[in-house]
A and B are shown apart, each in its own frame.
Chain A
Amino acid sequence: MDQHDTVVSMLGITKQFPGVIALDDVTLHVQAGELLAICGENGAGKSTLMKILSGVYLPDEGELWVRGVPVRFKTTRDAEAAGIAIIHQELNLVEDLSVSANIFLGRELRTSLGFLNERQMIQRSQELLDSLECRISPLSRTGGLRIGDQQLVEIAKALSLDASIVVMDEPTSALTESESRRLERVIGRLRSQGVTIIYISHKMDEVFRLADRIAVLRDGRMVRTENRSAASPQQVTGWMVGRDISNAHAYTPRIPGERVLEVHNLFVPWPGHARGYRLSGVSLNVCRGEVLGIAGLMGAGRTELLETIFGAGPQKWSGEILLRGRSVHFTHPQEACDAGIAMVCEDRKRLGVFPNLTVGSNVSLCTLSRAVRGGLVRRRIEEAMVAQSIRDTGVKTSGLSSNILGLSGGNQQKCIVSRWLLTQPEVLLLDDPTRGIDVGAKAELYALINTLCRRGMAVLVTSSELPELLSLSDRIVVLSEGRVTAEFNRNEASEQRIMEAATLGAFNRTGHELPN
């Protein structure tokens, strides 16, 4: 590699979060004027690496060099001053301000008297938007724009900083086909002006259309960096998933019973979004004593599917859900609960744990009425009930009255599973149950799922980790952009085939967009 052309060097970057190593000794060189694609599965560390480059996080270890000078970005301002701008996956715009106010937020242009120089900001914004083929007024309210236009506002903001290095974190994940094409043209124009672009994506068609080089991250490590001409999409997906599957537990065949839950042609609308739906035409079924895995990338609709079944979804839906052969339409989780469905939510901290309650109260919450005698909760019955349940799931705690936040992530998750097992469900919905928990706790959860399944429970499980799904599931349904793109039996499924089905979306996305 020619050292003179290297504009950014990240050397030996390591970043830990409580319980997880997000990045482990990652080294990356970016050359001036190139478009470098960074690929990897969910949780591979792509976004964390870019957040370090743009000053959102400080690395625990490692060095960052920009244009041959070692730098240490404490804030995004520091990175912006060095000409690095990032366009986050979740856009950072103040929805109630105008487009031009957003573009110059925090760096407002002023007149000689110190008042806001609206005219100049509007004019500059207009020029920037024009150069991006963006036909919106700088005066329009940002929150009222379509996602694609909001993203261009972010890009305009980056350009107003005269950024020479622009990081784009999965920019097309919320865009329609024509908006994606427009973004590609914008990228082309930026490159002709000499801007270096780092492009995060896991969509192979995009990556191979745009990139000069491709870097692949897996489990927080840099697996490989390759010129586009020297790689094929199959190879890259292979590098993304190809890890040793050593943590797979021994699987002995299970014999599924009768069908307990069926979903037919489920359609969940998504008003205001370019795609128009969260889920469309989803059909699946699960039997007693069977684990059905649901695979899909971020935004594929896994959580929405489980929430809709559980009666917790935000939208009205159409289609049919049959529980034990009877059509059901839950409007509140309590109804699903009474009908024998339990759901462990994806975001444990936000949707699962009650931080102000003890371990015991967290576990007994759904079934507290069983401990009631004469209108009052009997502490002894409650404690016996909780103690039994957390013994079954293997929660390690110093006592039932200790604070739940004092437990490790894995033990917190086991508490939530205990809470639901006390309701004696027939169908258990697990939304990414092992996210952010350590390997030991994961193994225990796998064993628990196997035991429950053998007792006749039907389990639907989603996961962002494919090896986990492969080792847990009897069958796997793959979702991509709200649609089922494949279904595999255990013996047909492989990481490669699932990943290919999960990244299919971009090709069959037509017919749902409005003309700009």
Chain B
Amino acid sequence: MSPSDSSFPGRSLLRSSEWALVLAIILAVAITALIDANHSYYFKPLESARDIARNTALLGIFALGATVVIIAGGIDLSAGSMIALSGTVCAATMLALAPAEMIGFKPVGPLAVVTAIGASLTAGFLVGTLHAWLVTSIRLPPFIATLATLVGLRSFARALCESTTASFTPTKSALINVYDPFFKTVRDNVWISVAVFGVLALFTWIILTRTVLGRHLYALGGNEQAARLSGIRTDNIKWFAYCYGAMTAALAGLFYVANESVAAPVNQGRGHELNAIAAAVVGGCSLSGGIGSVPGTILGAIFLRVVIDAVSKIIKTGADVYEGLIVGIVVVIAVTLGQLGHFAAGGRRLLPGSLGLCAIPTLSIFCGMIISMTAGARVGLASGLAALVLLGILRVWESRRF
């Protein structure tokens, strides 16, 4: 990203890199519509859109939190575990307030639901405060602090689940089922999660572009020393950022519980923090801080979900197997495309020296294997060889040019 289009955040709604994302999304949808043998985008457009919207909203909610943390120059690796903790806190609170109803699959009453939601969001606030304290007072690098909670919070959530079920139900259990009609409504009506995501996105956008706090977040991420010397209480800004990150993850955790009708801390949200970070990065956030936007992250989240959906439609096996692979490839390609200008301008080469030489077969083998697993051995072999030849030509062209 060139410095010039990272200017006044939010001056115009979309920047050029974001229009490119819009184009990429349209392209991905069009390709899926064409290649998909079931033609589900033709025959069931509403259903397909609903699927993507649900998944995008779910990812987007905590990707917005990740965006705020990244703009402030930090990183939050713990979002997935926060999702598990939030869901567990919510279910455990309801179980504690209304054990008989929870066990008998009956409504627990609005008071218990509201208290449970409040407890989850409070948990998010507390975790955010813990992160900010570790980062500012103990001076842990954000990566280390949130790596510790990534591991620790999930374990904590499992322990909480087991001890609560042991106290309020006959047997201890690794999950708590949630049958309250409130959560059923949320599950059955996709547009609730989309609406919550929309409102949250608008709120985040206003904070980032129209408030002093937002400006200070960008300043902190852009130059922390200068921000402090300009009289900004950088510790408080970081406190806000980490709380925002953890509380959006807590909010997302409630939707996970609703969608799956269960709080299952063992696996709920596992690894999803990286999807959120990926959405932010694809949307133009710089991991060194100070750069990023809400429209970018929304588009990044949509793009990720559309591509994942496309692969599941086209190859028809469980998309979850390939989800990680797709996210990884999309992130690498998106960031590489953003840097291509620098490569050309700085005379840098994509395949330099012996490392570049070794990268050619590595990439070709990966390419061939991925395609042979999804589209058959013969096509895979052909694509692998094609990649080998193309990369070889690129290498020769580069060494002639420089």
Contact = CB atoms under 8 A, between A and B. Distances in A.
B336 interface: no
B291 interface: yes
A368 interface: yes
A282 B226 CA distance: 26
A357 B222 contact: yes
Interface stretch (A30-38, A358-366, A472-480): A358-366
B378 interface: no
Contact of B223 (A334, A354, A360, A366): A354
B8 A354 contact: no
A401 interface: yes
B250 interface: no
A366 B210 contact: no
B4 interface: yes
Interface string B2-29: 0110111001000000000000000000
B7 A403 contact: yes
Measured as residues with beta carbon below 8 angstroms from the partner, the interface class of chain B is 20 to 34
B290 interface: yes
Instruction: Kindly name the residue among A334, A353, A369, A372 whose own CB sees the greatest number of chain B CB atoms within 10 A.
Output: A334
Contact of B231 (A334, A345, A402): A334
B225 interface: yes
Interface in B214-249: 215-216, 218-219, 221-223, 225-233
A419 interface: yes
Contact of B221 (A351, A356, A361, A406): A356
A368 B215 contact: yes
B280 to A, nearest CB: 15
B206 interface: yes
Nearest to B286: A356
A384 to B, nearest CB: 15
Contacts of A361: 8, 215, 218-219
B interface: dominant SS: helix
Interface in B49-99: none
Contacts of A310: 229
A377 B212 contact: yes
A351 B224 CA distance: 9
Interface in A366-425: 366, 368-369, 372, 375-377, 401-403, 405-406, 419
B215 A333 contact: no
Contact of B8 (A338, A351, A360): A360
A343 interface: yes
B288 to A, nearest CB: 9
Interface in B170-226: 206, 210-212, 215-216, 218-219, 221-223, 225-226
A406 B7 CA distance: 12
Contacts, number: 95
A336 B231 contact: yes
Contact of A401 (B7, B215, B223, B232): B7
Contact of A355 (B211, B212, B222, B228): B222
Contacts of B4: 403, 406
A351 B226 contact: yes
A295 interface: no
A4 interface: no
Nearest to A344: B229
Interface string A311-349: 010000000000000000000111011100001010000
B226 A333 contact: no
A356 B231 contact: no
Interface string B328-355: 0000000000000000000000000000
Contacts of B215: 357, 361, 365, 368, 377
Contact of B3 (A345, A356, A372): A356
Given A350-B225, A361-B8, A375-B211, A355 B3 contact: yes
A333 B212 contact: no
Contacts of B231: 332-334, 336-338, 366
Interface of A: 310, 312, 332-334, 336-338, 343, 345, 350-358, 360-361, 365-366, 368-369, 372, 375-377, 401-403, 405-406, 419
Top 3 closest pairs, chain A to chain B, by CB: A337-B231, A356-B290, A356-B222
Given A332-B228, A332-B231, 15 more contacts: A332-B233, A337-B230, A343-B229, A351-B226, A355-B3, A355-B290, A356-B221, A356-B290, A357-B290, A360-B8, A365-B232, A376-B206, A401-B8, A402-B7, A403-B3
